[in-house]
């Protein structure tokens, strides 16, 4: 396996099984899982409803390809289309978030006959050749070679950069002016703006609510499409909304939405949603051998059904709200904590050298090790310095589990 396949922890962890919000390692240690395999175990580990759907479907047929219809794929497409908020929506299933964004870029650049794309600074959109070229984070973008011409825009990072000291309204105004300035300097048409409503790998950073709606007004004047990368923010994780774009909804939904991670609860499902006119603009055939496979689609249907029936978005809002409140209180008393931010069950704790804005990746690593030793798994992110702790448990997290995790985090932060 490649050297660049990053593993967490000095002594990497082998996870063997899970249940609910817990996982076990090969040595028999149990952990409370506050990272959910990168925000992907959405409902719970070993959720009987999902496990049964997978087993039942695997017993019938595992694979057929998109050359043939399968009922779970059509049913899931219909549910996702209805939930997306995009009128006259079409859904194409892929096997990952990278591939979903790649499909979105193919659609937008073909529809607009332009290879120019606007992306946000500090973004992450995947590991393929096309998606690393719209990833505004050098820690995750190994080459500057690109099939696209990418123009980076301000706005996704509220508490750093040249506009950090402004009020929310002034910040949005400055970012809109920056967008207009970039467009004014650009020759020819621009295909799309792609943005994560809350940046994931970037360290759970986000703009003030409404910023992308303000961008939308400008984009509309140029016919530029808005792609919302909902790979981390979809399915109610942010608590307040089902999709992250809904915090920026004043001027309507995005033209294209991409999703992955949580929908399959770990089965590999990604996908792209677009209105028919955009989705159908490709005039060559396309297939996906594995996209929309019966087993993954059956898992997605069962998982989505469970999420909606148990109002896990509401749980993310309630339990996530309590957790964030607790983390903010802890953060206020730990000198290494520069910022505690997030929404729903997406919480970020940014660590710096006390009293400065200087990233402190060693402190982040120390907290990761200390929480692991105490039986809690968390993630990290935040620009190339990766000095943000990321907390994103399954959306069924209980209040007791939130308290237990916060307790462990508090101890680890105090030990810095
Ligand atoms: N977009 C975002 C916002 C992501 O966080 C990720 C994965 N971390 C991707 C795209 C790529 O998804 P995948 O790893 O499934 O290819």
Q: Is 232 in the pocket of ligand 1 (CB under 6 A)?
A: yes
Mean pLDDT of 210-229: 98
Q: Is 291 in the pocket of ligand 1 (CB under 6 A)?
A: no
The SS3 assignment for 135 reads coil
Separation of alpha carbons 408 and 416, rounded Å: 13
Q: Is 126 in the pocket of ligand 1 (CB under 6 A)?
A: yes
Q: Which atom of ligand 1 is nearest to the CA of 96?
A: 15
Q: Is 230 in the pocket of ligand 1 (CB under 6 A)?
A: no
Q: Tokens for 42?
A: 């959405």
Question: pLDDT digit string (tens) for 300-335?
Answer: 999 999 999 999 999 999 999 999 999 999 999 999
* Fold held by 15-33+312-414: 3.90.1150
Query: Would you say residue 5 has pLDDT above 80?
Result: yes
Domain spanning 52-309, CATH class: alpha beta
Residue with tokens 């759907």: 53
Question: pLDDT digit string (tens) for 375-384?
Answer: 999 999 998 7
pTM of the full structure: 0.98
Residue 225: per-residue pLDDT: 98
DSSP 380-416: EESTTTT-EEEE---TT--HHHHHHHHHHHHHHHHT-
- The vertex-288 CA angle with 282 and 289, nearest 5°, equals 155
State how far Cα 174 lies from the chain centre. Answer: 25
Q: Is 96 in the pocket of ligand 1 (CB under 6 A)?
A: yes
Separation of alpha carbons 100 and 96, rounded Å: 6
DSSP 299-316: HHHHHHHHHHHTTHHHHH
Residue 62: per-residue pLDDT: 97
Q: Tokens for 328?
A: 């903010």
Which H/E stretch holds residue 74? helix 71-84
Mean pLDDT of 385-402: 96
- The vertex-243 CA angle with 240 and 247, nearest 5°, equals 60
Q: Is 228 in the pocket of ligand 1 (CB under 6 A)?
A: no
Q: Is 238 in the pocket of ligand 1 (CB under 6 A)?
A: no
Confidence of residue 396 (pLDDT cuts 50, 70, 90): very high
Q: What does the domain layout of the chain look like in residue ranges?
A: 15-33+312-414, 52-309
Separation of alpha carbons 132 and 143, rounded Å: 8
Mean pLDDT of 42-58: 98
Residue 42: per-residue pLDDT: 98
DSSP state of 95: S
Question: pLDDT digit string (tens) for 70-106?
Answer: 999 999 999 999 999 999 999 999 999 999 999 999 9
User: Ligand 1: which residue has its CA nearest to atom 12?
Assistant: 97
Question: pLDDT digit string (tens) for 101-153?
Answer: 999 999 999 999 999 999 999 999 999 999 999 999 999 999 999 999 999 99
Q: Please, are residues 265 and 299 in contact by the beta-carbon 8 Å criterion? A: yes
Judge if 15-33+312-414 and 52-309 fold alike in CATH terms.
no
Residue 385: per-residue pLDDT: 83
For a substitution probing ligand 1, which of 5, 232, 381 has the most ligand atoms within 8 Å of its CB?
Answer: 232
Residue 69: per-residue pLDDT: 94
Q: Please, are residues 323 and 395 in contact by the beta-carbon 8 Å criterion? A: no
For a substitution probing ligand 1, which of 36, 119, 200 has the most ligand atoms within 8 Å of its CB?
Answer: 200
Residue 383: per-residue pLDDT: 80
Separation of alpha carbons 331 and 128, rounded Å: 36
Q: Is 194 in the pocket of ligand 1 (CB under 6 A)?
A: no
Residue-level length of the chain: 416
78 contact partners, CB below 8 Å, separation of at least 6: none
Confidence of residue 161 (pLDDT cuts 50, 70, 90): very high
Residue 210: per-residue pLDDT: 98
Residue 191, beta-bridge partner list: none
Q: Please, are residues 302 and 49 in contact by the beta-carbon 8 Å criterion? A: yes
């Amino acid at each position: 396996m490649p050297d660049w396949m990053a593993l967490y922890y000095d002594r990497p962890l082998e996870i063997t099984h899970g249940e609910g919000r817990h996982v076990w390692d090969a040595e028999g240690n149990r952990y409370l899982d506050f990272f959910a395999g990168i925000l992907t175990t959405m409902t719970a580990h070993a959720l009987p409803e999902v496990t049964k759907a997978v087993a039942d479907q695997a017993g019938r047929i595992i694979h057929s390809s998109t050359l043939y219809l399968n009922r779970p794929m059509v049913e899931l497409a219909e549910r996702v289309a209805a939930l997306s908020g995009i009128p006259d929506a079409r859904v194409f299933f892929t096997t990952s978030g990278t591939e979903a964004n790649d499909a979105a870029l193919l659609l937008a650049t073909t529809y607009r006959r332009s290879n120019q794309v606007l992306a946000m600074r500090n973004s992450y959109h995947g590991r393929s050749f096309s998606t690393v070229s719209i990833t505004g984070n050098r820690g995750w973008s190994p080459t500057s070679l690109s099939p696209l011409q990418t123009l980076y825009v301000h706005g996704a990072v509220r508490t750093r950069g040249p506009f950090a000291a402004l009020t929310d309204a002034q910040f949005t105004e400055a970012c809109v002016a920056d967008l207009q300035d970039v467009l004014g300097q650009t020759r020819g048409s621009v295909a799309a703006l792609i943005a994560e409503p809350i940046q994931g790998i970037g360290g759970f950073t986000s703009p003030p609510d409404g910023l992308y709606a303000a961008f939308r007004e400008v984009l509309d004047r140029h016919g530029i499409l808005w792609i919302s990368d909902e790979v981390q923010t979809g399915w109610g994780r942010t608590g307040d909304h089902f999709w992250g774009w809904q915090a920026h909804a004043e001027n309507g939904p995005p033209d294209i939405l991409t999703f992955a991670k949580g929908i399959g609860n770990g089965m590999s499902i990604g996908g792209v949603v677009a209105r028919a006119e955009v989705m159908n603009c490709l005039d060559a055939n396309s297939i996906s051998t594995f996209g929309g496979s019966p087993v993954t689609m059956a898992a997605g249907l069962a998982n989505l059904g469970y999420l909606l029936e148990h109002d896990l978005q509401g749980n993310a809002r309630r339990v996530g709200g309590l957790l964030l409140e607790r983390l903010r209180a802890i953060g206020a008393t730990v000198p290494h904590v520069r910022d505690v931010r997030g929404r729903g069950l997406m919480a970020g704790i940014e660590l710096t050298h006390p009293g400065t804005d200087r990233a402190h990746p060693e402190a982040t690593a120390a907290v990761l090790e200390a929480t692991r030793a105490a039986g809690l798994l968390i993630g990290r992110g935040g620009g190339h310095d990766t000095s943000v702790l990321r907390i994103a448990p399954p959306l069924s997290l209980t209040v007791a589990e939130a308290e237990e995790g916060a307790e462990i985090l508090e101890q680890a932060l105090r030990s810095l």
